[in-house]
Amino acid sequence: MDYGIELMLEIADMDMYYGLGNNLNRIIRIEDMVNTRFNNDYFDLLSAMLIYHQIVEELMKSLIAIGNFNTRLNLFPQKMPIKIKFDREFYKLVKELEEGVEFENKEEFISLIKKFNRNRNIVAHKIIRDENFETEYLKELENTKDEYEKIQHIYASVALNFFNYVNKNLNKISRYIDYSKNYDEDLKQLESKEIEDRYSIEAVNSVKKAVRMYLNSRVEERKCLEVQNKYSYLF
């Protein structure tokens, strides 16, 4: 399929928190469950820290995906391969974020996730070894929610800004369509089950409609130019 059509599909299918995909609703549900149980109980606090840590990992993956997609959009028509591996350890995701594209409050975000990970590791490794663990590390556990919310706040701001940026600057169909090309095969592929499985039906239909309308407008424009050229002596 034409690379421009692929990008149009991704834009049409993107939501406010690009990269989270089907995990978004699950994360929201888990957050609600954790928040309702966040109290002074040692085991509830410990569970909250471990769950928040896992969610932070998903937020990092989303930011990496956002950076990758942003680069692909801005390099178009140059094609950039997707090189995202989400089966990496936490520290490798941090390193990829550090070496990746810039975003607002990036240094603060990375500092927060490193601190969060460090506290999580200390707590996890001291559970069995330290007899005074429940009292000694209670403060770190009680601060978990505040630290997580700082991370989540920066993430949400970056994701929202990217979503608005794409919709304002990079979603023009004329940017991705080469009207000198024939898109008959691409339109056929948009009808395939593979595409329907990868993207929402709304996204697929909107791209099909946009491509057809744009190509039809170009046909009409060429007809007008042909008429003008044919009868140019009258003007």
Can you tell me the distance from the alpha carbon of 30 to that of 8, in angstroms, rounded to the nearest whole number? 32
Can you tell me the distance from the alpha carbon of 164 to that of 180, in angstroms, rounded to the nearest whole number? 30
Domain around 209 = 184-234
Mean pLDDT of 159-181: 85
pLDDT at 74 exceeding the cut of 60 = yes
Can you tell me the distance from the alpha carbon of 25 to that of 135, in angstroms, rounded to the nearest whole number? 35
Q: Where does the pLDDT of residue 56 fall: very low under 50, low under 70, confident under 90, or very high at 90 and above?
A: very high
**Other CB atoms within 10 Å distance of the CB of residue 82:** 8
Are the C-beta atoms of 151 and 56 separated by less than 8 Å?
yes
Same domain, 150 and 40: yes
Q: Say if 62 falls within a structural domain.
A: yes
Mean pLDDT of 120-130: 73
**Pair of tokens at residue 59:** 């937020």
Q: Where does the pLDDT of residue 100 fall: very low under 50, low under 70, confident under 90, or very high at 90 and above?
A: confident
Maximal CA-CA distance, the chain: 98
How many structural domains compose the chain? Answer: 2
- Give this prediction's pTM: 0.84
| Domain limit, last residue, from 154, 174, 194 | 174
Same domain, 110 and 200: no
